Amino acid sequence: MLDEVSDAAAAQILEHPELFQGVRVVAEMRRTYPAHDLAGHLVGARTKPTDADRSLKDGVMVNQDTVRIGRFGVEKSYSHRLNGVPGVQQTVRDRRQRIVSSEVTRKPVSGRDVVLTIDVKLQTLAEQLLAESLGDAERTLLVPSVTEESMQHVESEFLSPPEPAHIPVGGSVVIMEADSGRIAVAASAPDFDLSMFTDGSEAQWKAVNGDTRQPFVSRCTSMALPPGSTFKIVTAIAGLQTGVLTPEMPFSCRGYLSNPDEHRCLIYRLDGRGHDTVKLRSAMAQSCNVYFFSIGKNVGSQGMYEVSEAFGLGHQMQTSLPGESKGNIPNPLWKKKAGLGGWSMGDTYNMSIGQGYVTTTPMQMAVLVETVANRGRQYEPYFVERLVDASGQTTKVATPKVTRMVNLKESTWNMLLQSLFGVVENGTAAGTKFSHLDVRGKTGTAQNPHGESHAWFTGFAGPKGAPPQLAISVFLENGGSGGAIAVPVAHKVLGAAFPLPKVAEARP
C-alpha cells in the first residue's frame, strides 16, 4: 500500500481500471496546521484510527481510511462537530471494472469550523515570553534590568535581579476576561509543532518524546502544583470572614514563627531579618509567611478548606478540555483517607501559605482572582466562541455563564482588594505597576522538594477608573521567585493588552 501517489498517477488509475486490477484509489483529507505551534495544547490534533478505534462507536463502525480521531485539545472535545458525516456511494462494476450503476445512499454532511476565543496577538506574545523564560528562544523581550528605583520595592520575594540563576522547565500564561470567562490566552511551554501529527519526521518525534520537560502536558489545565503565596488570598478571606483577622490588627514578625529553623519568611532565610510590625495590607504586600501562619493557626484548616470550596478550588473548571486536573485542597479527612496519617499543625501552617498538600492549576488561579475582581461572581471559563458550517452560517457556542456566587462581607471584599493593590503598589509585584492601569494581584514562590521553587503571579487589571477587565495567571515551573521571574512576564503581557492611550498631537 502506498500512502501517497501523485495526482497524475491517481488519474491514470481511475481512467484505466482494467489495467490496474485490484488497485483502488482512496481520496484522503489531511488536517494542516498553518500556525504550527501556536496554542498547540489548546487546539490539539487528530490522527488515523488505531486498532482500538476500529470498533462500534455510537452505532457506527470506525474503519474508514479517511476518518481521523481527535486525540487532545479542542480537536478531541469538539471532534463530533469537526468531523461531519461521510457520504456513502454504492457503485456496481462488471468484471472488467466498468461502472454499471452508481447511487448515493447517504449524502455527506460537512463538519463545522470551530472558532476559538484566543487573542492571537497576546497568545503569540505569551508564548514568546515563555520560550525566552525557558531558554528555548533568545531573550529579546525579557531583558533583565534592575534599577535603584525598582529595588526600592524589594521585599521578601524580589531579592535578586530578574536574570534567572536557573532555567524553568515549564510554564504557562492564562488570561481571561473578568466579566465573561472568555479565555484570551492559554499558553503552555514547552510546546511542539502540531504539523508533526500529519507529516512529522522521525527525528522530530524523537526530539519531542525525548524532552524530559513533558512538552505534551498542558501547564494551563493539566498540571497542578503548589500555588505558594498566591493562596494567601484564601487564607486572608478565611481570617476576615471569621473575625480572626481584622485589617488594622498589628503583628510582629521576627522572621520565623517559633523556631529559627522552620516556618520562616523568605526574607529571614536570605537576610536573617523579619518584617517587624505588619498589618494585613503590608503583610500581603511583603508576603509575610509568619503573619499568615498565625492566621491559618487561628482559622484552622477547615476554615481555609471551606473558602477554597466556595471558590471552586479542588474541582475542575469545566473548560471542556480533556485531561483537566482538579488539583487538591486537603483537610484532615482527605489526609486520613489517603493513608497519610493524622492532620498536624504543620499541615495547617503549610496550607496557609499554599504549600504541603495544596495544589492548583494556573487556570484555577485565574478563575480565583476573576471571582475576586467581580466581588464573588464567578464565570465559567470557555475557549470556543462559535461554530461555522459549510454555508457560512454561524452558531454561537458559549455565552457568559455564572457558575458560582461567593458571598462575603462587604468589608472583606474591600480589605482584600486594598491588600492586593498594595502588593502591586509597593510590594512584591511592583513590577506590574502601570501609570494608566489599576493592577492588583499576588506573587507566589512555592517551595519544591524536587528542585527550584515554582514562580507565580496571579491578579487582574483594567484601565484606571474602570472595572477590572482581565484576570491573569503566570506560572513558571522550577522558575524561582515569583516577584523576579513571573512578574516580568505578567508586565509584558498586560502592557500589550492595555497599551498606553495615544496622546493627540498639538497643532500649531
Nearest to 399 by CA among 119, 186, 81, 177: 177
| Confidence at residue 392, expressed as pLDDT on a 0 to 100 scale | 85
Reported as a single tens digit per residue, the pLDDT across 368-406 is 999 999 999 999 999 999 999 888 888 888 889 999 999
Residue 42 lies in a domain: no
Reported as a single tens digit per residue, the pLDDT across 136-155 is 999 999 976 543 334 344 33
Q: Report the amino acid identity of residue 241.
A: Q
CATH assignment at residue 493: 3.40.710.10
Low-confidence ranges of the chain (pLDDT < 50): 56-63, 146-162
| Confidence at residue 161, expressed as pLDDT on a 0 to 100 scale | 41
Residue 264 lies in a domain: yes
| Confidence at residue 149, expressed as pLDDT on a 0 to 100 scale | 38
Residue 49 lies in a domain: no
| Confidence at residue 164, expressed as pLDDT on a 0 to 100 scale | 56
Angle between helix 232-242 and helix 362-373 axes, rounded to 10 deg: 40
Q: How many C-beta neighbours within 10 Å does residue 27 have?
A: 7
Q: What range does the domain containing 182 cover? A: 120-497
| Confidence at residue 393, expressed as pLDDT on a 0 to 100 scale | 87
| Confidence at residue 396, expressed as pLDDT on a 0 to 100 scale | 87
Residue 9 lies in a domain: no
| Confidence at residue 59, expressed as pLDDT on a 0 to 100 scale | 45
C-alpha 448/C-alpha 453 separation (Å) is 5
Tally of domains in the chain: 1
Q: pTM of the predicted model, to two decimals? A: 0.86
Residue 195 lies in a domain: yes
Residue 383 lies in a domain: yes
- Residue 304: half-sphere exposure toward Cβ, Cα within 13 Å: 31
Please name every residue paired with 327 in a beta bridge, in sequence order, or none if there are none.
Answer: none
Chain position carrying cell 481510511: 65
| Confidence at residue 134, expressed as pLDDT on a 0 to 100 scale | 95
| Confidence at residue 157, expressed as pLDDT on a 0 to 100 scale | 39
The percent of the chain in helix, strand and coil, each rounded to the nearest 5, is 35, 20, 45
C-alpha cell at 62: 470506525
Cβ–Cβ under 8 Å, residues 279 and 291? no
| Confidence at residue 153, expressed as pLDDT on a 0 to 100 scale | 41
| Confidence at residue 2, expressed as pLDDT on a 0 to 100 scale | 66
| Confidence at residue 507, expressed as pLDDT on a 0 to 100 scale | 55
Strands 276-278 and 251-253: antiparallel
For the chain, the distance separating the N- and C-terminal CA atoms, rounded to the nearest angstrom, is 77
Residue 78 lies in a domain: no
| Confidence at residue 159, expressed as pLDDT on a 0 to 100 scale | 38
Residue 61 lies in a domain: no
| Confidence at residue 28, expressed as pLDDT on a 0 to 100 scale | 64
H helix or E strand, kind and range, residue 281: helix 280-286
